[in-house]
């Protein structure tokens, strides 16, 4: 997989990934929910998206907050697979 340029990544963020940012070679976003159960339901939906895409995010949950980071570790940065996964995660957050 080819690592994308900062310009390519930022263009996609601006166009299709509101609230996401490029931080240290990864796409990141903090999601806040109406409580612990809603956050856990999001994590379950995110896991299904990850499983279907055969790619996984890194995440950390704190009660009603889920911090998500997406990068292709083996490539050393953000690839097209990461952008696709971030779009799927974004969609899962809206359900």
Quick: pLDDT tens for 34-76: 999 999 999 999 999 999 999 999 999 999 999 999 999 999 9
CA of 67: how far to CAs of 1, 5, 30, 64, in Å?
Answer: 25, 23, 4, 10
The C-alpha atoms of residue 31 and residue 37 are separated, in whole angstroms, by: 13
Q: For domain 6-93, which CATH number applies: 1.10.3720.10, 3.30.1360.20, 3.40.710.10, 3.40.50.2300?
A: 3.30.1360.20
Q: Which two tokens stand for residue 3?
A: 């690592």
Report pTM: 0.95
Q: Which SS3 state, helix, strand or coil, does residue 61 take?
A: strand
The C-alpha atoms of residue 8 and residue 43 are separated, in whole angstroms, by: 27
């Amino acid at each position: 997989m080819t690592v994308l340029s900062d310009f390519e990544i930022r263009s996609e963020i601006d166009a299709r990934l509101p609230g996401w940012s490029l931080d240290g070679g990864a796409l990141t976003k903090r999601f806040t929910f109406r409580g612990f159960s809603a956050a856990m339901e999001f994590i379950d939906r995110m896991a299904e998206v990850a499983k279907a895409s055969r790619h996984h995010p890194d995440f950390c949950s704190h009660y009603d907050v889920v911090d998500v980071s997406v990068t292709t570790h083996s490539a050393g940065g953000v690839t097209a697979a990461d952008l696709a996964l971030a779009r799927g995660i974004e969609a899962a957050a809206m359900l």
